[in-house]
């Protein structure tokens, strides 16, 4: 096990809204729901899992009213997909994905002699996924692919599908009509096949969680391509995948 610290936090994206630069603390929690299973005649308490899991998420940091920054994100009280990397913004590192994080509390704190602060709590709805980063949250100016040396080898296939995350924080189309992001997989690292094709992105910020059933092969990669024609294009995004 390797210890991690605050410099390792790689990104915090909510439907593509990148708010890492405003945060001083993220608190995520997963909990298994139990029921007291103790009956008459028992000498000791007994608890049993009821088959449910739940998650909580909260944040603290600085108030920032720039477009698509923390204020815009929180004041909407919206449900968003979220992806947070606690271990680094690097292909192959883990990230946590939330299918739905609903902002339920937003506190703006102004104190004499300090910068304003912003705090929030979320209600988590749906799955919380433990995924692997297939494309770090970085900018790309041409179409590309992480197959080969930049692919992720999980050493074995899995049979229970999974969930892909795509979060784009910045997009300049420069005449192109969209950018298409994909998760791709391979059994042999020679031929790669489409596994998930996310909805083509025409504006940022944007985020999507998309699931797939069945076999997921051992090698995973991501690809990105611009649709149409143009010049001066760029997109800043992450793609990740959590096996089921």
Q: Cβ of residue 191: shortest distance to other proteins, in angstroms?
A: 4
Asked if residue 228 binds other proteins (CB under 8 A), the reply is no
- The one among 48, 187, 213, 229 contacting other proteins by CB under 8 A: 187
Task: Looking at residues 61 to 90 of the shown chain, list those that interact with other proteins (rule: CB under 8 A).
Answer: none
Q: Candidates 33-41, 42-50, 100-108, 180-188 — which segment interacts with other proteins by CB under 8 A?
A: 180-188
Q: Which contacts qualify for 27-36: CB closer than 8 Å, 24 or more apart?
A: 27/56, 27/57, 27/58, 27/59, 28/55, 28/56, 28/57, 28/84, 28/96, 29/55, 29/56, 29/57, 30/54, 30/55, 30/128, 31/55, 31/56
Q: Cβ of residue 230: shortest distance to other proteins, in angstroms?
A: 20
Asked if residue 150 binds other proteins (CB under 8 A), the reply is yes
Distance between the two ends of the chain, CA-based, in angstroms?
Answer: 23
Token readout for 132 is: 């692997």
Asked if residue 189 binds other proteins (CB under 8 A), the reply is yes
8 Å CB contact between 85 and 95: yes
- The one among 192, 198, 226, 241 contacting other proteins by CB under 8 A: 192
Cβ closer to other proteins: 94 or 218?
218
Query: Residue 8, by phi and psi: left (phi above 0), alpha (psi -120 to 50) or beta?
Result: alpha
Nearest CA to 165 out of 193, 118, 121, 126 is that of 126
8 Å CB contact between 152 and 91: yes
For residue 75, what are the CA distances in angstroms to 19, 22, 71, 72? 14, 15, 6, 6
Q: Cβ of residue 158: shortest distance to other proteins, in angstroms?
A: 13
Q: Candidates 6-14, 56-64, 67-75, 147-155 — which segment interacts with other proteins by CB under 8 A?
A: 147-155
Q: Cβ of residue 194: shortest distance to other proteins, in angstroms?
A: 4
Q: Cβ of residue 192: shortest distance to other proteins, in angstroms?
A: 5
Q: Candidates 12-20, 87-95, 131-139, 214-222 — which segment interacts with other proteins by CB under 8 A?
A: 214-222
Asked if residue 155 binds other proteins (CB under 8 A), the reply is no
Which residues lie near other proteins (CB under 8 A)? 144-150, 182, 184, 186-194, 197, 214-215, 217, 223
């Amino acid at each position: 096990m390797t210890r991690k610290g605050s410099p390792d936090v790689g990104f915090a994206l909510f439907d593509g809204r990148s708010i890492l630069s405003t945060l001083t603390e993220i608190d995520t929690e997963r909990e298994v729901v139990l029921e007291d299973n103790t009956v008459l005649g028992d000498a000791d308490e007994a608890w049993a899992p009821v088959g449910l899991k739940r998650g909580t998420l909260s944040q603290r940091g600085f108030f920032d009213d720039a477009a698509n920054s923390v204020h815009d994100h929180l004041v909407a009280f919206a449900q968003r997909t979220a992806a947070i990397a606690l271990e680094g913004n690097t292909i192959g590192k883990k990230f946590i994905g939330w299918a739905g994080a609903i902002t339920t509390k937003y506190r703006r704190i102004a104190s004499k002699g300090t910068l304003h602060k912003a705090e929030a709590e979320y209600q988590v709805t749906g799955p919380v996924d433990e995924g692997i980063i297939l494309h770090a949250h970085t900018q790309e100016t041409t179409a590309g692919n992480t197959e080969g040396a930049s692919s992720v080898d999980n050493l074995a296939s899995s049979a229970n599908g999974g969930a892909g995350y795509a979060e784009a924080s910045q997009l300049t189309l420069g005449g192109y009509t969209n950018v298409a992001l994909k998760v791709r997989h391979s059994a042999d690292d020679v031929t790669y096949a489409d596994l998930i094709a996310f909805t083509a992105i025409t504006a940022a910020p944007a985020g999507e969680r998309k699931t797939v059933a069945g076999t997921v092969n051992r090698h995973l990669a991501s690809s990105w391509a611009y649709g149409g024609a143009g010049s001066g294009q760029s997109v800043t995004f992450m793609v990740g995948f959590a096996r089921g």
